Amino acid sequence: MGATKYTDRSIPRVSLADFDKRIDEITSQLVHAAETDGFFSLTDTEITIPEIDAIFATSESFFALPDEVKGTVPFTHKNVGWEKKGQVRPSTGVADQKESYQLQFGQNMTDKWIAEDALPGFKPSAQDFMKKAQSLSEKLMICFARGLGFPDDHFIKAHDITRPDCQSVLRLLHYFEVDKSQKLQENFYRAGAHADWDLLTLLFQRPGQSGLEICPGREVVTSFGIGDRWTKVDFSPGDIVCNIGDLLMSWSDDRFKSTFHRVKAPTDPETDYFGPRYSIAFFNQPCVDCEIQGPKGKYPKVTGAEFTKAAMERNYNALKAKQEELGQKRQDGVNGSGTPVAASA
Ligand SMILES: O=C(O)CCC(=O)C(=O)O
Ligand SMILES: [Fe+2]
């Protein structure tokens, strides 16, 4: 496979200060970032550094629980729950070196919240943060709707968190510490290359815990960007890294780009971060019955459920092909309970 080739692309940084007054300027900056890189960082948002620190503390306290306790809320096909080394990406064919806990707003979370006596205060703290992530996402949704000529509430209505069947997900992630003295297999990643299939994703990162890399889709010439030029994502404390998902790419008739990204496993003791890595993703997923079609009608109209099903099928088939290429039996790609871990990405 050979060493990764890197290039320094600058990732656009958009300030959301004075949002209501500056909405036209912010809209044009976001639209430009979406049309070019598909990745950008947000600064001066309504989510403060202490609030981000607090949700990371909550996340770390969850992952510090024994596996038997985390196993009381296992991952299910409703895209909620805890998995450990359960997600196999079609780009690698082996499990991501991580564990994650996925949370939703509505009925899919029945019995999937960690018990109050196992981790006091977890549920209200997570729900509070999820509402903040939703509120910030809705600002971006207004801007992208305007950019495409839709009514302001077009995407907000399709991602309504007050509905019990709402599908949006907060994903807490913990990548395991890597032993500097033991070389990992070449195809091991903390998270293998992928594009998300939601509308847009907010990514919360910890300063000092590097590893996120992007390869803007329009430059990808090889499968999953392997062999292409990648860029290490740099951000300032408090910035929120965002990326366009396949859903918004399709809903914009491919005008906005969903972008390959990955979390590389550390290999270089001089430059890479080997310690435990925590990150948090908020995936804006469509309601099952919303109707998806771009302003120019490039693709046939589909519902949210049809879009998600097609994305999962593509993922499943690509994984099967990769595993055949690697000569593996189709046993990975499912977690311990036999449930495919597909998440939103
Ligand atoms: O951990 C990160 O920084 C990225 C996670 C991610 O891309 C995902 O879960 O879809
Ligand atoms: Fe992702």
- What DSSP letter does each residue of 224-258 carry, written as one string? GGTTSEEEE----TT-EEEEE-HHHHHHTTT-S--
- Confidence at residue 224, expressed as pLDDT on a 0 to 100 scale: 67
- Confidence at residue 335, expressed as pLDDT on a 0 to 100 scale: 39
List the 229-232 sheet strands across, edge first.
Answer: 5-6, 229-232, 212-215, 260-263, 191-194
Alpha-carbon span 193 to 187, nearest angstrom: 11
Residues flanking ligand 1, CB < 6 Å: 171, 173, 191, 196, 203, 205, 212, 261, 263, 279, 281, 345
Q: pTM of the predicted model, to two decimals?
A: 0.93
Give the burial string for 64-91 (b: 16+ CB within 10 Å, else e).
ebeeeebeebbbbebbbbbbbbbbbbbb
Q: Whose CA is nearest to atom 8 of ligand 1?
A: 345
Alpha-carbon span 345 to 326, nearest angstrom: 22
Candidate of 173, 264, 344 to mutate for ligand 1, largest count of ligand atoms within 8 Å of Cβ:
173
CA of 139 to the centre of ligand 2 (A): 21
Q: Whose CA is nearest to atom 10 of ligand 1?
A: 345
ipTM above 0.95, yes or no: yes
Nearest ligand 1 atom, CA 196: 10
- Confidence at residue 332, expressed as pLDDT on a 0 to 100 scale: 45
- Confidence at residue 237, expressed as pLDDT on a 0 to 100 scale: 92
User: What is the pLDDT tens value at each position of the chain, 345 positions in all?
Assistant: 567 788 878 789 999 999 999 999 999 999 999 998 889 999 999 999 999 999 999 999 999 999 999 999 999 989 999 999 888 888 888 888 899 999 999 999 999 999 999 999 999 999 999 999 999 999 999 999 999 999 999 999 999 999 999 999 999 999 999 988 877 777 788 888 888 999 999 999 999 999 999 987 656 656 666 667 889 998 899 999 999 999 999 999 999 999 889 998 888 888 889 999 999 999 999 999 999 999 999 999 999 999 988 988 888 888 888 888 888 654 444 433 334 455 555
- Confidence at residue 333, expressed as pLDDT on a 0 to 100 scale: 45
- Confidence at residue 150, expressed as pLDDT on a 0 to 100 scale: 98
**Closest Cα partner for 46 from 108, 118, 132, 121?**
132
CA of 282 to the centre of ligand 1 (A): 10
**Closest Cα partner for 131 from 282, 278, 16?**
282
- Confidence at residue 67, expressed as pLDDT on a 0 to 100 scale: 98
Residues with CB under 5 A from ligand 2 (ion): 196, 345
